[in-house]
Amino acid sequence: MSRSAHFRVDPKLTHVLGENYSSSEKALKELVDNAWDAEATEVFITVPTILSDAPIIVRDNGSGMKTAELEAEYLNIASPRFSRKGDRTPNFSRIVKGRKGIGKFAGLILASEMELITQAAGKRTRVLISKTALMEALGDLEKVPLPLDVADSDPLNAKGTTITLSNLNPKLSHLQPDKLKELLALDYGREPTFVIFVNGERVFHHDIQGEKFQTEIALPNGQTANVSYTIADKPLSGKKSGLNVRVGGKSIGKPHLFGLENDDALSDRLRRRIVGEINLPADSLELTAAGGDVIESDKGFEILMQAIPAELKQNLEATHTKEFNLAKARFSKELKRRLENIPEFRREILESRLTVLMQRAFQDGEKTMERIEPLATLVVDALEKDEYWTVCHNIHEAERVDIFHFATALEEFGLCDLAFMGTQAKRRLEFLDSLERLATTEATTEKQMHTALQNNLWVFGPEYSLMASNRQLRTIIEDYIGPDATDRPDLFLAGNVLKQHLLIEFKKPTMNVGRKAEFQATTYADTLTGKLGMPLEIFIIGGEVDPKLVDEYTGKKTKFASYRAVIASAKTQLEWLISELIAS
């Protein structure tokens, strides 16, 4: 029986048709999410080769749809499944993925024609959706005819849905099977009741971009454990990393790192690159009574605990070394000019110090890599300047002689350090002159003042010198004001080793600080102090300050100041320091 069906348009349509996908793979994943919601246990995806005119096909063995259900629900645009049937599927209690009811349109991003064939309750329903027809009638979708056929279903395939995407969009890059497998693996790779095949190859949770490894480990009972894993190009979330243990095809317990989580030589960033599984024959390990975990005293499991950490660490360090050497090469190129000025007998020492810095920076993450330049420059300075090199050498040699020479060497270091402090103070005065010019320019924004001061907290006083911005503290700010908040204040939250916290709100140099700023400060104190669980010092800095605020808040944790006053105070302290050093 053939006839026409029509879309039913929900009033929310205008708010959701702007949905977009940043890649072809992400668009196709929406159709897999629909199969998940339909409680499919298997999904088969066919991706055509490059330059082929063949379609993309997504087939699942889910619950399918009755004809009436397809017309009343599937063709009801912007009517999400969870709002009709709840946020869990009825049999497997899966969390429903479809939240906006427009995932059906994801296929039309990839192709100009989408054919849907679904089977349920003994009937096979076919509907054809044309992207061209929809675009021509976007303002009146309800009048677009959709060819619909209903027939008796195939008894061999009693239920399920097949989507065929034809006439693929030539403006999009060819859909990459490996990239699609990686994307699907992150969400579904560890789901025991949801198996996905891409071009006949099963998607596993370690099908992500990175270097792949395989090994076999002999067990005491003569059986073999097959280990396959990937060292990912980028760290994964904690829940998605680690090795999954499968006994007889069944997943046992949570993913393991087999002791590497306690290895201080590895950063968390590196550990989270490991993802894979260990496949063992049935009855090869002793399991708990419920079969949900391995008994740790099992001899076979003890063998795994001994062999796997060394295997993982060896390959992890090898992979890390490649990336580390690339980063080192890029950085060394920038320092080449300065290295040429250093005596040859010192270069080996310098390179070893830089190697340590680079290793730590790489393990701690990309943000730390940004801080490597000033640290490396400090090392170069220390080995480039003869006075520091000589004094450090004397201290090293004096340790081997006697206490008198050792004390003399330390005195020399102190004198050298005083000279360095004088040089630093003069440079800081030059910085303050530049900062003052920035603060007295009307066009200067709060963001520009933030950028200039965030790594120069000594301007606010010596007690702030050891404070630094912290990623976790910045996350607290994001949670508090929201990443997309309008009228967003320019906040800077720092901490130190004593767990003391400082919040600075930067105002424009032309904006005066008054009672409105006081209200903001008390709000920050009430809200963020509770989130941090400890006192918070608040500093609001801008143009001129209401004198009453200065009087009321003198000696308190909350401070209000003008850029001009802060700069003047810092200059006074440095000028005093220089005069004292000259006197010494």
Q: What does the pLDDT look like over 431-445, one tens digit per residue?
A: 888 888 888 888 888
Integer Rg of the chain from CA:
32
Give residue 21's pLDDT: 63
Q: Where in the chain is the domain with CATH 3.30.230.10?
A: 206-319
Taking the C-alpha atoms of residue 404 and residue 253, their distance in angstroms, rounded to an integer, is: 63
Which range scores top for mean pLDDT: 32-46, 147-161, 170-184, 363-377? 32-46
Q: Identify how many contiguous H helices and E strands the chain contains and give both numbers.
A: 19, 21
Residue 447, Cβ density class (10 Å: 0-12 exposed, 13-18 middle, ≥19 buried): exposed
pLDDT higher than threshold 70 for residue 471: no
- Residue predicted with more confidence, 579 or 198: 198
Tell me which architecture the domain covering 206-319 has in CATH.
Answer: 2-Layer Sandwich (3.30)
Count of other CB atoms within 10 angstroms of residue 106: 24
**Which residues lie closer than 8 Å to 376 by C-beta, 6 or more apart?**
331, 335, 354, 357
DSSP 535-568: -EEEEEEESSB-HHHHHHTTTSSEEEEEHHHHHH
Give residue 216's pLDDT: 93
Phi-psi region of 121 (alpha: psi -120 to 50; beta: other; left: phi over 0): left
Give residue 245's pLDDT: 86
Taking the C-alpha atoms of residue 441 and residue 561, their distance in angstroms, rounded to an integer, is: 18
**pLDDT (tens digit, 9 = 90+) per residue, 475-534?**
666 666 555 544 556 677 776 656 677 888 888 888 888 888 888 777 777 777 777 667
Of 46-50, 162-166, 580-584, which range is least confident?
A: 580-584
**pLDDT (tens digit, 9 = 90+) per residue, 531-544?**
766 777 888 888 88
Give residue 517's pLDDT: 82
Give residue 584's pLDDT: 61
Element holding 276 (H helix, E strand): strand 274-280
pLDDT higher than threshold 50 for residue 97: yes
Question: Percent of the chain scored above 90 by pLDDT?
Answer: 10
pLDDT higher than threshold 70 for residue 138: no
Which range scores top for mean pLDDT: 99-108, 243-252, 264-273, 288-297? 243-252
Phi-psi region of 117 (alpha: psi -120 to 50; beta: other; left: phi over 0): beta
pLDDT higher than threshold 70 for residue 447: yes
Give residue 318's pLDDT: 78
- Average pLDDT for the chain: 76
CA 481 to chain centre: 20
**Tokens 């079969």, located at residue:** 291
- Residue predicted with more confidence, 354 or 117: 117
CATH class as words, domain 2-198: alpha beta
Judge whether 500 and 537 are in contact, CB under 8 Å. Answer: yes
Judge whether 490 and 446 are in contact, CB under 8 Å. Answer: yes
Give residue 58's pLDDT: 95
10 confidence band (pLDDT: 50, 70, 90): very low
